[in-house]
Chain A
Amino acid sequence: MQAVASSPRFVAVPRRLVRLHRPSDAVVWFWSTLVVYLAVALYVTLIAHSEGLGQDGVSRVAIANRILFSRDPHLAAVGFVWSPLPELVLVPLVALKSLWPALVQEAFAGNIISALFMAGAAYQIFRFLEEVGVRRWLRWVLTATFAFHPMIVLYAINSMSEAMFIFFLLLVARHLQRWLRTHEMSALASTAFYLAALYLTRYEAMAAAAAVVVIVGFATYVGTRRPTAQRVRATLLDCVIVVAPFATAFVLWAFTSWLITGTAFQQLSSAYGNTAQLQSRGLSTSLTLGQELGAVNQAMHWMLALEPFLPVVVSACVVVVVWRRDWIALAAPAVLGAVLAFMFWAQVTGSVLQLLRYFIVVIPLVILMVGVTLARRTTPAPTPATAVVAGWRQRAMKWSWVSGRALAVAAGVVLMSLSIPAGYRAVMDPTINVGYATALQALENRGQLTLAERWASLRFVTDHTVSQYVDSLHLARGTVLVDDFLGFVIVMSSSNTEQFVITSDRDFQQVLADPDANGVRYFLVPSEQALGKLDAINRAYPGAYVNGGGIGTLVKQFNDVSDSGTNWRLYRTTPTS
């Protein structure tokens, strides 16, 4: 139908005029997915008040908030444990806090950003499919199976950095593919700059960078018809061009971190970093063989839960690429594949927590591979093998009334549409989508919740209670000491953020060393289980939670009502001699 409508024979209106006013399909996809994501996010966050979905996303809003509105607002408050871009893009929205407090106090700014970037990712998927030559209607089907995959919708609305990461990753893959086909300098430079943005979004970008460098180096080396020395130099130059912005971002970020905190790679060495988090949860960073095999099994299980047809799609894609001898078509999936492989490796070696979200890249990967497989491409270069297959095909054609290609397309569409219910099952399964499924179920069964579901939906209720209580004391500026690593929601949802002395304040260590002398009247400590052990006050004053650590007397205890397991205690400081 679309084809008829846009075919010149049936169109009476001058086409150029129509074009001027009609946005491209990809733009339609961007806006419509954005509206859908925002509507869902609005419902989940502001109407259903489901708090179990945000987690790290909420803490990013808290960080953006402390950059602008803390007692000591400064850019370095962004912190150096995680990549800075997801926090920095929030800053302009958080600046509008006074116009719409829910942006910060309910962390809705985070939902807006993740919705924006995931809608952007849908746009990129569509453009990619367009560029590899997928038919128009099939582009719509495949983009829909991406954009409405439950896992994708979940991460479009829960303010995590996955959306941004997928968005930049797709940009990298798309422009790399474009460079391989056209050799335009702009494509190579775009790949390079998006790779840098990817690094500033998530550290997994390193895997993508490695893949891109290998692909670019290989392509240039093979494609340059010159003496070896010049070939090597050309290869080196292309690799430098594509990796320079990434490397600069890497060095600058490490250097800034070193300059401000004294360590270049906080995510590894910080008291709050990945390693410390794993250890505080009693997880070893080196696994036994049995554990490793278990992790392999689990990772495979999760990937298949998200995309049950992964093996089919990968094999079909490889077969088609080999048949067409169109190696360039593999470049974009290879970049996504590298990230996935890296996360797989990290899981198996126990370097990161075992979370379903680390495998989210499998969804766009499958879509890209289906796109590459079903794309209309030129006829393959004839080889003995293709001749044999062509012979088979001709014989097969006699027996079939539909073409093999139509069958393939139909199979692709069916498989992709099946991936949505499968994805739904995975996302709702508490053994797979650990930490989120319960909150989602709570959302589904509003009114009649199980205990676990109620806990999950009340994730930050304790923090809000603490915050309201402290606010009700009407304290002066800089009188409440709290480590906002765990206390970020307390600070973020307070209407008087300047009363807190928080970790990012430049005088935090000084105040921590002698709270009373530095004007602190109260301090808040979390219970010492799990991540509570990493709390700065608990570390500086052993027993601070239990008995005030010798510097305070208990004012009030706030018991956890969710499944986070963290209780809070408010102490009044005792004057030191």
Chain B
Amino acid sequence: MKNAARKPRQSGARYATAAQPGVETAQRSEVEQAAALAEAVDGLRVRHPDLSASRVLTQAQGLVLLGLALACVLGFVVAPVPTGVLLSGCVAAIYVLVFVSDVAVFRRLIHAPHIVEVTDEEACAIPDNELPVYTVMIAAYHEPEVIATTLRSLAALDYPAHLLDIKLLLEADDEATRAAVRAALPAPNVDVVLVPPSHPRTKPKALNFGLLRARGELVTIYDAEDRPEPLQLRRAVVAFSRAAPRVACLQAKLEYHNPHQNLLTSWFAIEYLSWFGFALPAIAGGDTPVPLGGTSMHMRRAVLEEIGGWDPFNVTEDCDLGVRLYRMGYRTEFLNSTTYEEANSDAINWIKQRSRWYKGYAQTWLVHMRHPRRLWHELGGRGFCGFNMLVGATTLTALLNPLFWVLTLTWFFAHPPFIQSIFPTWVYFPGLASMIAGNFLACYVDLIVIRAAGRPGLIRAALLAPVYWLLISVGALRAFLQLLISPFFWEKTAHGLDRSQAAEAEA
């Protein structure tokens, strides 16, 4: 009995929400507005200063880093070869550890990691009166082209309109998007929230602002260009009802609807298939904190409020949130329901997005490593190592990879003696072995993933993946420079570059 094709209800008019349907609701008093804004910006910073990325480095971290840098400089002046050996040894050790943890993840990954399944029948079987109020938040900034499509995707969600509390979070000074929203005539249950202009101008700040008004027992967020699967909310409700109380978050799968637009989108699509469908569930299976996706993460609102909401100063607030959840004793599971997004098809735009991610990863790592011993205590040994591998080492190796490729190539073609002197056998062999085996494994995972996901058409991109890694490293390098120069600057990713989607939107 397939009744998946239930018509989404369009009867919102009967259940008029507290807000004026489809009308911008910035009509609260100035005092209230200012208080809400202060809470959205400073809530986490005031309550948990140790968990806020508003400071990039603590004093102690700064001193340690400075000390290390000085020691390196001094070492290179006094005893260059032993210092070089020590550094290359440390880096080789990191690579070997990363490889070992990759193998562990790979082993879990090929054995079909745990993903919560809710069938169409089960999702539809819940009577409406047992469904909780669900808040769906969409933060949109400079997205006038896609906002109409967004509203249509939201209307397609199969959830009773009176229980669906949609918050469309717009920046008050973003006239173009506001106009586009007015023109699109949003459904009555869409509550357009205007976020007063203030710094930092980031998505997590807008989300915090929206959260203050959220009515739902469950909360989810989507990006402006997302197309969630219509039954996703119902599936999440069922999954939450079955899950242990400490499961506070369900991350749905993210996939791209334009994998075949160009090679870049194919690579990106493989990466997402792998990340949300396999790697993250496999990592979570190893009792390790996992970063969340920036969209389609479904949470219990009480927990979200308890842990302090999003960190407006972290440019990958999703990654930070995943780790913070885990630290406070909550767990994330993965839901077999897909949200389609638009893959970035333009290399420059892609690099900007990637460097924001890496910058955020670095921020997240620095925030949570402020008190390593406390982190170890909260995450446990495995969780601590997993966090360092996933959030710390991923960023670091992306940054170091090109350096080592250059060193390897230089060695092959020129045999300069300084390379030999800083790579003694015991550094060189483990390093070389983990480089070869690690790169092979990374490629192989892509092949396995596209096979398991039933997307053999992506095979060409999977085999060309090493070129993609080069782009990733460019992003990481840019992130590193930005972290030094402007740590909180949120690099906006342009959407609507997918021509098919643009055409569809026009139609």
Mark A residues whose CB is within 8 Å of B.
Answer: 74-75, 184-186, 188-189, 230, 233-234, 236-238, 240-241, 244-245, 248, 252
Contact = CB atoms under 8 A, between A and B. Distances in A.
Contacts of B447: 237, 240-241, 244
Contact of B451 (A74, A185, A252): A185
A185 B450 contact: no
A186 B110 contact: yes
A85 to B, nearest CB: 14
A185 B456 contact: no
B456 A237 contact: yes
A252 B439 CA distance: 13
Interface in B438-482: 440, 443-444, 447-448, 450-452, 456-457, 459, 463
11 contacts: A74-B425, A185-B448, A186-B112, A188-B451, A236-B459, A237-B447, A237-B451, A237-B456, A240-B459, A244-B443, A245-B444
B425 A233 contact: no
B126 to A, nearest CB: 33
Contacts of B459: 233, 236-237, 240
B457 A241 contact: no
B436 interface: yes
A186 B451 CA distance: 12
Contacts, number: 46
B112 A185 contact: yes
A252 B429 CA distance: 14
A345 B450 CA distance: 38
Given A75-B429, A189-B110, A241-B447, A230 B452 contact: no
Interface string B29-43: 000000000000000
B408 to A, nearest CB: 12
B110 A240 contact: no
B111 interface: yes
A244 B459 CA distance: 13
B371 to A, nearest CB: 39
Nearest to B443: A244
A252 B459 CA distance: 22
B110 A185 contact: yes
A135 to B, nearest CB: 29
B428 to A, nearest CB: 10
A186 B111 CA distance: 6
A245 B444 CA distance: 8
A272 B444 CA distance: 36
B301 to A, nearest CB: 37
Q: Is the interface of A mostly helix, strand, loop or mixed?
A: helix
A248 B450 contact: no
Closest 10 CB pairs of A and B: A233-B456, A186-B110, A237-B456, A234-B456, A189-B110, A185-B110, A237-B459, A186-B111, A241-B447, A185-B452
B457 A233 contact: yes
B185 to A, nearest CB: 41
A234 B429 CA distance: 37
Nearest to B412: A259
A237 B448 CA distance: 9
A514 B361 CA distance: 60
B273 to A, nearest CB: 13
A237 B450 contact: yes
How many of chain B's residues touch chain A, expressed as a range? Answer: 10 to 19
Contacts of A75: 425, 429
Contacts of B452: 185
Contacts of A236: 456, 459
Nearest to A229: B457
B435 to A, nearest CB: 12
A241 B111 contact: no
A569 B425 CA distance: 36
Interface string B102-144: 0000000011100000000000000000000000000000000
A260 to B, nearest CB: 12
B415 to A, nearest CB: 12
Contacts of A241: 444, 447-448, 451
User: Which of B110, B444, B448, B456: most chain A CB closer than 10 A?
Assistant: B456
Nearest to B428: A75
User: Which of A184, A237, A240, A252: most chain B CB closer than 10 A?
Assistant: A237
A75 B428 CA distance: 11
A188 B443 CA distance: 16
A245 B456 contact: no
Contacts of A252: 436
Interface in B406-443: 425, 429, 436, 440, 443
A241 B459 CA distance: 10
B259 to A, nearest CB: 14
A244 B447 CA distance: 10
Contacts of A248: 440
Contacts of B448: 185, 189, 241
A234 B458 CA distance: 10
Contacts of B443: 244
Nearest to B450: A237
Nearest to B445: A189
Nearest to A189: B110
Contacts of A74: 425
A329 B181 CA distance: 62
Contacts of A186: 110-112
B457 A230 contact: yes
Nearest to A186: B110
Interface in B200-232: none
Nearest to A187: B110
A240 B112 contact: no
Contacts of B444: 189, 241, 244-245
Given A185-B448, A244-B440, 13 more contacts: A75-B429, A184-B112, A186-B110, A186-B111, A230-B456, A233-B456, A237-B447, A237-B459, A240-B463, A241-B448, A241-B451, A244-B447, A245-B444
Contacts of B456: 230, 233-234, 236-237
Contacts of A230: 456-457
A423 B3 CA distance: 65
Contacts of A244: 440, 443-444, 447
B397 to A, nearest CB: 21
Nearest to A244: B444
Nearest to B457: A233
A234 B452 CA distance: 11
Contacts of B463: 240
Nearest to B106: A189
Contacts of A237: 447, 450-451, 456, 459
A184 B459 CA distance: 19
Interface in B365-419: none
A352 B113 CA distance: 47
Contacts of B425: 74-75
User: Which of A185, A188, A234, A248: most chain B CB closer than 10 A?
Assistant: A185
Contacts of B112: 184-186
Nearest to A74: B425
A241 B463 CA distance: 11
Nearest to B107: A186
Contacts of B451: 185, 188, 237-238, 241
A185 B463 CA distance: 18
A186 B109 CA distance: 9
Contacts of B436: 252
Nearest to A237: B456
A54 B126 CA distance: 72
Nearest to B449: A185
A440 to B, nearest CB: 41
A189 B278 CA distance: 15
Nearest to A233: B456
Contacts of A188: 451
Nearest to A190: B110
Nearest to A235: B456
Nearest to A240: B447
A184 to B, nearest CB: 7
B164 to A, nearest CB: 37
A241 B448 CA distance: 7
A160 to B, nearest CB: 27
B416 to A, nearest CB: 17
